[in-house]
């Protein structure tokens, strides 16, 4: 968030708590703190004596801010605490606005329910289940300087939907936001580190509406990784006046290119570590979204997958299925119907959505849906067919899945195979032991593979 917006919110909160707003001298001190200036430098710029600012204005300002945010504010932690406080207040305001919107849009929800559920849930959709604790945790984290958030879950579990809402939250804080999906990257680019890093920098520049100036910073003598870091630090971050939230979706795509992954993933880690010593890197907030565990060997101190805030999305529970049914206009308050559906699909968000979409349309009832779920006439046929095509193209995955389906006990699989099947959502892993993720997949793939 830029400082002017932050000061505006701080003043509003001070007035709401029956305190006077910030004086021009106090604003001068805050601007100096934001620019990492000493009190002597701030005093020189504003025409005050250093002693007056240090001994009179600054202590009173810190005390007033401490009373407002509920924590002891000092010159050293002022920026971090104020940004976190304003972020929490903004989150609270947004939550209130969303509740008001839902209350006013009950009739509109019926129209939204007729959109076939496919891919990420749009920001304007009334069909979305909030994972409140997770969302608040992610929102709070990206408000911190130099933050890194890792969102992991199998495909179609809601990772991108959460990412989109986090970016929207960042935009409401006044942050710059950039979203890149690595599945959209050409194979030729992913096969060459230099081309990939230039692709990354060019796309970030484009989304920030900055003219790409890669050749001004790229130097083959220092290498593409250093060139990329200099470009982001000295050009992109220096030319924006707010933090940058950079979201990288489907990062597991890069796992298929080990030579690129071994250089790029440690580079992400290095940017996170640089924020601990260089203030400019604190403007960068990273979101890494991936479907599987990393299976590219990395030294522990180079991996971005053991730092930052880890977020693991899981299947919907009974209450969340009931909540989603209500958003579709279906009353499942007694709990029997959602339990039956969960026995079939295991609370898988995409599969639950598909069922509720068809039930909402009145074209099938729940017993019929469950009876035909695994067949070619069922509501899941296209979803299942898509997985079947993938398995036919990757024989080693089909063989491994057959082993899991045939076993009455959890099965140990080769790690890479296990991660790929898990990323597809076909198996559940518990201590590297695989079981079918739901009865629907068990029934369908047994008939196909056996």
Q: How far apart are alpha carbons 331 and 388 in whole angstroms?
A: 34
Tokens, residue 417: 């195979």
Could you report the per-residue pLDDT of 249-261, keeping only the tens digit for each? 999 999 999 999 9
Give just the sign of the alpha carbon dihedral 374, 377, 383, 384. Answer: positive
The yes-or-no verdict on residue 376 having pLDDT over 70 is yes
On average, the pLDDT of the chain sits at 91
Listed residue (412, 398, 401) closest to 436, CA to CA: 401
Q: How far apart are alpha carbons 233 and 34 in whole angstroms?
A: 18
Give all strands of the β-sheet with 433-436 in edge-to-edge order: 411-412, 433-436, 427-430
Token pair 């945010």 is at which residue? 69
Q: How far apart are alpha carbons 280 and 271 in whole angstroms?
A: 10
Q: Higher model confidence: residue 151 or residue 103?
A: 151
pTM of the model: 0.78
The strand ranges marked E within 157-296 are 176-181, 244-249, 284-290
Q: How open is the CA angle 272-277-280, to the nearest 5 degrees?
A: 75
CB 240 within 8 A of CB 172: no
Q: How far apart are alpha carbons 163 and 289 in whole angstroms?
A: 8
State residue 163's pLDDT score.
Answer: 97
The yes-or-no verdict on residue 105 having pLDDT over 50 is no
Q: How open is the CA angle 208-278-235, to the nearest 5 degrees?
A: 30
Q: What does the CA dihedral 403, 404, 410, 414 come to, rounded to 10 degrees?
A: 70
The yes-or-no verdict on residue 226 having pLDDT over 80 is yes
The yes-or-no verdict on residue 267 having pLDDT over 80 is yes
- pLDDT (mean) for 105-125: 68
Tokens, residue 84: 């976190």
CB 179 within 8 A of CB 7: no
Could you report the per-residue pLDDT of 49-95, keeping only the tens digit for each? 989 999 999 999 999 999 999 999 999 889 888 988 888 787 666 66
Could you report the per-residue pLDDT of 173-186, keeping only the tens digit for each? 889 999 999 999 99
């Amino acid at each position: 968030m830029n400082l002017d917006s932050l000061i505006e919110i701080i003043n509003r909160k001070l007035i709401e708590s029956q305190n006077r707003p910030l004086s021009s001298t106090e604003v001068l001190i805050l601007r100096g703190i934001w620019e990492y200036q000493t009190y002597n430098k701030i005093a020189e710029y504003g025409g005050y004596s250093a002693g007056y600012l240090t001994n009179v204005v600054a202590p009173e300002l810190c005390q007033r801010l401490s009373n407002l945010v509920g924590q002891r504010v000092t010159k050293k932690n002022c920026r971090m605490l104020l940004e976190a406080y304003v972020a929490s207040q903004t989150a609270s305001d947004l939550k209130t606005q969303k509740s008001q919107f839902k209350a006013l849009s009950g009739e509109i929800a019926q129209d939204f329910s007729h959109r076939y559920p496919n891919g990420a849930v749009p920001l304007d959709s009334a069909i979305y289940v909030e994972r409140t604790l997770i969302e608040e945790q992610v929102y709070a984290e990206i408000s911190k300087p130099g933050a890194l958030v890792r969102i992991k879950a199998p495909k179609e579990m809601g990772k991108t939907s959460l990412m989109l809402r986090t970016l929207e939250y960042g935009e409401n804080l006044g942050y710059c936001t950039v979203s890149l999906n690595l599945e959209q990257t050409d194979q030729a680019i992913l096969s060459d580190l230099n081309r990939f890093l230039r692709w990354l920098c060019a796309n970030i520049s484009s989304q920030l509406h900055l003219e790409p100036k890669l050749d001004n910073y790229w130097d083959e003598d220092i290498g593409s990784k250093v060139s990329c870091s200099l470009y982001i630090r000295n050009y992109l971050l220096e030319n924006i006046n707010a933090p940058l939230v950079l979201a990288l979706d489907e990062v597991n795509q890069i796992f298929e290119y080990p030579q690129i992954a071994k250089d790029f993933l440690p580079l992400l880690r290095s940017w996170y570590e640089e924020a601990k010593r260089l203030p400019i890197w604190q403007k960068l907030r990273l979101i890494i979204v991936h479907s599987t565990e990393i299976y590219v060997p990395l030294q522990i101190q180079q991996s971005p997958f053991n730092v930052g805030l880890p977020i693991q999305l899981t299947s919907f529970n009974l209450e969340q299925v009931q909540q989603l049914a209500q958003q579709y206009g279906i009353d499942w308050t007694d709990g029997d119907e959602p339990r039956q559906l969960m026995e079939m699909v295991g609370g898988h968000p995409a599969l639950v959505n598909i069922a509720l979409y068809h039930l909402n349309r009145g074209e099938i009832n729940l017993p019929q849906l469950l009876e035909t779920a695994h067949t070619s006439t069922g509501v899941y046929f296209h979803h299942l067919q898509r997985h079947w095509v993938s398995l036919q193209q990757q024989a080693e995955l089909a063989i491994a899945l057959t082993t899991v389906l045939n076993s009455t006990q959890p099965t140990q699989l080769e790690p890479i195979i296990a991660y790929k099947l898990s990323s597809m959502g076909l198996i559940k892993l518990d201590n590297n032991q695989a079981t079918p993720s739901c009865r629907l997949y068990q029934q369908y793939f047994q008939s196909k593979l056996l």
